[in-house]
Chain A
């Protein structure tokens, strides 16, 4: 693929205790795309993410940035980590400064940027995740969802080309999830490549352009999210299929072929729109 930004080629990795977490795993992330990474607990999503950022180094195989193998030297890592921003699952394990603003400044300070640039980036990042008014708060007084947003701001302030998020929606309430989706949408519109690990099939189906499904450290399926997530082997592995797709299918069986702008609906709101559109057309005829 021409616009590949990161790719894994036959990557294997075992943890020091011998657990094999990745097994000849090959996959490609495409520039500017929204990619959802799915798979059962322990499938290797987190391990794969740690490879993208150079934190773990594969025992076999090759990882490439735009077609060239990663450079694991000090400078190479600095460069990679300024390009690939990784937000971990647990916010408590990645916030280590006491105040919000200070913590967000950590990444850009590590990049060695001048203070005024750092200051500007920190404010922008806090604004874009809607945490600007909590900038002077101590981290430990924030709610779980707010901590997550600070973590995201901490990575955004480094202005990476690729944003990698490990289960960002877990533990967030519906309103927070909606807000985060809006933030992600804005970043996507600005051209950022976004990769998300998630267990939420409905979210993945509605949000992602591309889907990657891992199974016990191997790639099970990769491609257009709308296709991949409906494949039978993926449905057996994940244990279900997207609700919107199922409803659309059963509606089709009753003779209601609902569409939005000629496509199958992928999210709840699209489905509702498609149904009302269908009724409107019925009434016109």
Chain B
């Protein structure tokens, strides 16, 4: 839960999520508006520097959070580079083909994706999910979707705790001593978890109705002091970013 931790402890925690959301949005616009791979790379660098230097996310942590996504990005770019070709001459009928003519376009796509990634990381690492959800609520996204997000998010922690506790209890009784026992314990864990999920959802429903709920989950949106100024600066920075991306050759 590195993302989670950063979101709650970074220097920009108290800045309005609207402002941070706007920077991220403008970042993505800039990524798409970028006229060249170089411009897109520049956007990526600016956004990641903002996250690391501005919000004070340790670079090592930034890299660790970014690594899985970078891995996927690399894999998909490589697969774009290589294409399968059906030809009639070769014995197998199929051959791998390196598309050199496509190279500029592929570099462009990769750099743009990288810039988008940094824009998303900027939001994810500086803004807790609760804030993101309330931001989405303000954007009038469907209630059901948001309720689902709220509940899944909370359930994630409740469940990971339950998994942890059950697994610890099992290993305390030598449940994972041998391979055979491990398999058996794992089965027990899954079965137990299924029951727990069911019971917890029941309990959540009960306590929601006890607090007078009869439909959508409504919460108070957090108040951020001085958010107008933050939003204004976010818009200015965002526009500058887009302009840079467009005019860098």
Q: Which residues in A have some Cβ–Cβ distance to B below 8 Å?
A: 50, 53, 55, 74, 77-78, 81-82, 85-86, 88, 90, 92-99, 101-103, 105-111, 115, 118-119, 122, 136-141, 154-155, 158
14 CB-based A-B contacts, threshold 8 Å: A77-B214, A78-B212, A81-B211, A94-B204, A96-B150, A96-B151, A96-B217, A98-B130, A106-B213, A109-B219, A138-B4, A138-B128, A141-B8, A154-B211
Could you tell me the distance in whole angstroms from the C-beta of B197 to the nearest C-beta in chain A?
12
**Residues on A with beta carbons closer than 8 Å to the beta carbon of B192:** none
Q: Are B212 and A122 in contact (CB under 8 A)?
A: no
Q: Are B150 and A107 in contact (CB under 8 A)?
A: no
Q: Nearest 3 CB-CB pairs, A to B? A: A105-B220, A93-B203, A94-B207
Which residue from B153, B203, B211 sits with its C-beta under 8 Å from A98? B153
Which residue from B8, B157, B218 sits with its C-beta under 8 Å from A110? B218
Q: Quick one: closest B residue to A82, CB to CB?
A: B212
Contact (A105, B4) CB under 8 Å given A88-B207, A97-B130: no
Q: Are B223 and A94 in contact (CB under 8 A)?
A: no
**Residues on A with beta carbons closer than 8 Å to the beta carbon of B223:** 119
Please, what's the 1-or-0 string for B210-236, where 1 marks a CB less than 8 Å from any CB in chain A? 111110011110110000000000000
**Residues on B with beta carbons closer than 8 Å to the beta carbon of A118:** 220
**Residues on A with beta carbons closer than 8 Å to the beta carbon of B161:** 92, 140
Q: Which residues in B have some Cβ–Cβ distance to A below 8 Å?
A: 4, 8, 128-130, 134, 150-151, 153-154, 157-158, 161, 200, 203-204, 206-214, 217-220, 222-223
Q: Are A110 and B213 in contact (CB under 8 A)?
A: yes
Q: Are B214 and A139 in contact (CB under 8 A)?
A: no
Could you tell me the distance in whole angstroms from the C-beta of B209 to the nearest C-beta in chain A?
6
Q: Are B204 and A101 in contact (CB under 8 A)?
A: no
**Residues on A with beta carbons closer than 8 Å to the beta carbon of B220:** 101-102, 105, 108-109, 115, 118-119, 122
Q: Are B203 and A53 in contact (CB under 8 A)?
A: no
Cα-based distance from A69 to B204 in the complex (angstroms): 27
Cα-based distance from A74 to B4 in the complex (angstroms): 39
Could you tell me the distance in whole angstroms from the C-beta of A52 to the nearest C-beta in chain B?
10
**Residues on A with beta carbons closer than 8 Å to the beta carbon of B211:** 81, 85, 106-107, 110, 154-155, 158
**Residues on A with beta carbons closer than 8 Å to the beta carbon of B212:** 77-78, 81-82, 107, 110-111, 158
**Residues on A with beta carbons closer than 8 Å to the beta carbon of B128:** 98-99, 138
Could you tell me the distance in whole angstroms from the C-beta of B31 to the nearest C-beta in chain A?
29
Which residue from B134, B151, B207 sits with its C-beta under 8 Å from A93? B207
Q: Quick one: closest B residue to A89, CB to CB?
A: B203
Contact (A78, B214) CB under 8 Å given A99-B128, A105-B220: yes
Cα-based distance from A191 to B128 in the complex (angstroms): 39
Could you tell me the distance in whole angstroms from the C-beta of B201 to the nearest C-beta in chain A?
9
Query: Besides the contacts A102-B220, A155-B211, what 6 more A-B pairs have beta carbons closer than 8 Å?
Result: A81-B210, A81-B212, A90-B203, A96-B207, A102-B219, A138-B4
Which of A86, A95, A110, A137 has the most B CB atoms < 10 Å from its CB? A110
Contact (A86, B130) CB under 8 Å given A99-B222, A140-B157: no
Q: Are A96 and B209 in contact (CB under 8 A)?
A: no
**Residues on A with beta carbons closer than 8 Å to the beta carbon of B217:** 96-97, 106
Could you tell me the distance in whole angstroms from the C-beta of A55 to the nearest C-beta in chain B?
6
Q: Quick one: closest B residue to A103, CB to CB?
A: B219
Q: Quick one: closest A residue to B147, CB to CB?
A: A96
Cα-based distance from A158 to B203 in the complex (angstroms): 20
Contact (A99, B203) CB under 8 Å given A119-B223, A122-B220, A158-B212: no
Could you tell me the distance in whole angstroms from the C-beta of B225 to the nearest C-beta in chain A?
13
Cα-based distance from A110 to B212 in the complex (angstroms): 6
Q: Are B213 and A101 in contact (CB under 8 A)?
A: no
Could you tell me the distance in whole angstroms from the C-beta of B138 to the nearest C-beta in chain A?
13
Which of A90, A115, A140 has the most B CB atoms < 10 Å from its CB? A140
